[in-house]
Amino acid sequence: MDHSDETQVKQPVISNADAVSARVAPDGRKAFNRELSWLEFNRRVLDEAMDESLPVLERLKFLAIFSTNLDEFFMIRVSGLKEQIEEGVAELSPDGMTAAEQLREIGKRLRPMLKKQASYLKETVLPALSEASISIEPYSSLNVKDKKRLEKYFRDNLFPILTPQAVDSSHPFPYISNLSVNLGLFIEPVRQATQKNLKHLFRQKRFARIKLPPTVPRLIPISVKAQRFALLEEVIAANAADLFPNMKTGEGFLFRVTRDADIELREDEAGDLMRTLEVELRRRRFRFPVRLEVSADMPDKMLKYLTTGIGIDETDVYRIDGFVDIPDLMQLYSLDRPLLKDKPIPVVYPSVFSDKSIFDVIKRQDVLLHHPYHSFSVVSDFIAAAANDKDVQAIKMCLYRTGPDSPIVRSLIRASQQGKQVTALVELKARFDEENNIEWARRLENEGVHVVYGIHSLKTHSKVLLVVRREREKLARYVHIGTGNYNPSTAKLYTDIGLLTTDEDICVDVTNLFNFLTGYSQQDDYRKLLVAPLNLREQSVKLIRREIANKKAGRIARIIVKINSLTDDEIIDELYAASEAGVEIDLIVRGICSLRPGVKGMSENIRVRSIVGRFLEHSRVFYFANGGKPEDEEVYISSADWMHRNLDRRVEVAVPIRDEEIKRYAIDDLFGTYLKDNCNARVLRPDGTYKKVSAGSSTRFDSQMFFVGKDIAG
């Protein structure tokens, strides 16, 4: 078949009456609010933390993930809503809410969740840990010997690095850095100063702040062998007299500030993107506050002092009845207590690679990798083999999040040192990984790697690797395209899909893609790849509309999609149109889903479920029945979710699965498994709430555990 026939999805003829513009449910709401949908996702994380079937340290881990997720939510999403209010933006959300109304609803929904989290930690998780001989003991309950040991720890390890800051006319309210945990207390003199020139300093009660040093663990060992711990803040508070001699110190209360952390770069004004980003990262620490967390029993006088000094409204104050900054408790997860954690899963190194050259295997067949069940070291080994192979001429890859100590980056450096042409597209703007990526970019450049920072005004989010090798007097190309980052650490925790192939059409497309990324080529015609922002949106719409046309023609029409988030208005409208036409649609959406399923006359043929379990579901896979004949069915894996940012503001790639055996694996095993899950699945209802899928009298089926120990497809 001619390439041009395969490149684009054929556009079915659809009348204007069939096109979707503004479908609305009977109650007037077409879609769910994005921010509130995200909160419901985090509620599912909290539900996972309260699953009594999980080992106690795993439940603690989910409590920490819940809090870490919230930190990012406030730093990015809540700060964005506050900026809208500040700038007078009147645009309503898809469900008709102003920014101020969304903020109020966020607080209304979140406060009960935080109360539930704190209560479960205090009443269930910590007692369970204590039963397992892991205890966090109040300083006041310790015996004299233990207190003396901690006093010595304070003098040797804390006193020299603490900087108490009192506030008065000559000492303004200190800057409170983002996400730092602080101890607030009032101090007052116990006697008049004897030195005449100091008397004016010691006449009244003052507020003082002590920042808990981030370089010191929050849990101080009382006895390492017995796994007994005291809290850092309690050790400091008990010895506060050493920090304020001749002063009476009041009770200490914890507080923590969250600040806006969304970086906006004017790339058109940036002469040097890396330097501009470094400046913005330094400024990030001084952005405006969006949340103040305080100990629940903090007196109103101190709270008023903090809100005034920090410059935050009382509506943004969250009283925490228990431990402030739960992720600090993950220190306990590092303890050697295997019975209190999930059993490690056996990771498969695919048998197809046993005793064979990785190049020979990929040349012979496409290989689909399913992480974390298949070892990510296959990918690392492939890059290492390319670096060491004398016949490899060039390596090109996109690096979005690589981790702090990446064997992949080391392989790229080694390849460059051996004279190979190595190109690394490093996305400096990967949120919260900016500093790490700047460091890697500098190191790569210093080693002779050709480092590129991507396309102006776009983030490069695609996960693509190209290896060019000389074989029998000609050049052969090998490609890896994945749904997840080239990060061996997260590959153990996230479920992702990767394709290794030498398919000629795909290899040509990937070559052209890198020319587009590094040389600003005008390439916009790809044989097989769908590339955002060039044609991924357009082709996604055409694929959906083709299913509508097939349904109207009496052929089999079916859509199954597994993604992280679904918020794009145009795609949602197209799915509503497909539902109205009778197309059966199953969406497996881990996180945000703005689409309302199951609404009569709008989305009654759409079902949405979320899988939240041991691993973070991160793979994006798309299925279109296309009439139902096995040879015509289409499956794509992609780096992109169906979100406006992915389709219009990022460089993303979707690649078709062409190998028939791998395609059957995706349709039958992958989708079939996730749609059968009755352990980790929750179904989205038309009112926006999620209902846990119950096994009932059926056998429990855990989709994530189903894949454990299975070899590759293809």
| Residues annotated catalytic, as ranges | 461
For the CA atoms of 94, 95, 101, 107, what is the dihedral angle to 10 degrees?
Answer: -100
Compute the radius of gyration of the chain from its Cα atoms.
28
Contact criterion met (CB below 8 Å) for 63 and 120: yes
The tokens for 108 are 């209304």
The residues that bridge with 566 in the sheet, in sequence order, are 593, 642
Query: Phi/psi of residue 21, each to 5°?
Result: -125, -60
Closest CA to 39 of 118, 109, 121: 109
Q: Is the dihedral of CA 355, 358, 364, 369 positive or negative?
A: positive
Identify the residue whose tokens are 């090798």.
469
Contact criterion met (CB below 8 Å) for 241 and 412: no
The H-or-E segment that residue 37 falls in is helix 34-49
Distance of CA 220 to the CA centre of its chain: 30
Contact criterion met (CB below 8 Å) for 486 and 397: yes
Type of residue found at 677: D
Q: Buried b vs exposed e over 398-415: b needs ≥16 C-beta within 10 Å?
A: bbbbbbeebbbbbbbbbb
- How far CA 612 is from CA of 49, 215, 588, 691, in Å, comes to 11, 33, 11, 13
SS3 content of the chain, % helix, strand, coil (to 5): 40, 20, 40
Q: Is the dihedral of CA 247, 250, 252, 257 positive or negative?
A: negative
Contact criterion met (CB below 8 Å) for 18 and 577: yes
Helices (H), 458-617: 504-519, 536-552, 569-580
Type of residue found at 9: V
Contact criterion met (CB below 8 Å) for 441 and 506: no
The tokens for 559 are 């859509």
The residues that bridge with 482 in the sheet, in sequence order, are 463, 498
Identify the residue whose tokens are 């539900």.
47
Contact criterion met (CB below 8 Å) for 359 and 378: no
Type of residue found at 671: F
The rounded distance, in Å, linking the Cα atoms of 672 and 665 is 9
Beta strand pairing status for 558-563 and 584-589? parallel
